[in-house]
A and B are shown apart, each in its own frame.
Chain A
Amino acid sequence: MGFLERLFGRQEPSSGKVAKERLRLVLTQDRAGISPALLDTLKDEIITVISRHIDVDTSAVQVTVSETNRESSLVADIPLRDGRGRR
Chain B
Amino acid sequence: MAGNGTEARVVTVTSGKGGVGKTTLTANLGAALAMRGQRVVVVDADVGLRNLDVMLGLENRIVYDLVDVIEERCRLRQALVRHKHLSKLWLLPAAQTRDKTAVQVEDMVEVCETLKEEYDIVLVDSPAGIEWGFRYALAPSTEVLVVTNPEVPAARDADRVIGLIEAEEKGPARLIINRIKPKMVERGEMLSIADVVELLAIELIGVVPEDQEILVAANRGEPLALSRNGSIAGSSFHNIARRMLGEDVPFQPLREKGVFERILRFVSPERS
- In the complex, which of the residues A16, A26, A27, A69 contacts B191, with contact meaning CB atoms closer than 8 Å? A16
Interchain CA distance A17-B192 in the complex, whole Å:
9
A31 to B185, CA, bound (A): 26
Closest to A15 in B: B189
Q: Assess the B199–A30 pair: CB atoms within 8 A.
A: no
Give the shortest distance, in Å, between B102 (CB) and chain A (any CB).
Answer: 31
Residue tally, chain A, CB below 8 Å to B = 15
Say which residue of B151, B163, B200 sits within 8 Å of A19 (CB atoms).
Answer: B151
A24 within 8 A of B: yes
Chain B interface residue number, banded: 10 to 19
- B151 — nearest CB in chain A belongs to which residue? A19
Chain A residue numbers with a CB within 8 Å of B151 are 19
Closest to A26 in B: B156
Q: Note all chain A residues with C-beta closer than 8 A to B195.
A: 16, 19-20, 23
Q: Given A69-B201, A70-B201, are A23 and B190 neighbors across the interface (CB < 8 Å)? A: no
CA distance A69 to B63 in the complex (A): 47
Separation in Å of the A30 CB from the closest CB of chain B? Answer: 6
Q: Which residues of A contact B188 (CB under 8 A)?
A: 14-17
- A-B pairs, top 7 by smallest CB distance, nearest first, are A14-B188, A16-B188, A20-B195, A23-B152, A15-B189, A70-B201, A19-B191
Determine the main DSSP class of A at the interface with B: helix
Chain B 226-258 interface 0/1 with A at a Cβ cutoff of 8 Å (1 = within) = 000000000000000000000000000000000
Q: Does B159 contact A (CB under 8 A)?
A: yes
B155, B159, B160, B189: the one within 8 Å of A14 (CB): B189
> For residues 36 through 67 of chain A, which have their beta carbon under 8 Å from a beta carbon of chain B?
none
Interface residues of B (CB under 8 A from A): 151-152, 155-156, 159-160, 163, 184-185, 187-192, 195, 199-201
Of A16, A20, A23, A24, most buried by chain B (CB within 10 Å of CB) is A23
Give Cα A16 to B199, complex, Å.
14
Residue of A nearest to B186 (CB): A16
- CA of A74 to CA of B34 in the docked complex: distance in angstroms? 48
Given known contacts A16-B188, A16-B191, A23 and B201 CB-to-CB distance under 8 angstroms: no
* Cβ–Cβ < 8 Å partners of A70 in chain B: 201
> When the two chains form their complex, are residues A30 and B185 in contact, meaning their CB atoms are under 8 A apart?
no
B199 and A27: CB pair below 8 A?
yes
Cross-chain contact A27 with B189 (CB below 8 angstroms): no
Report Cα–Cα, A22/B155, bound state, in Å.
11
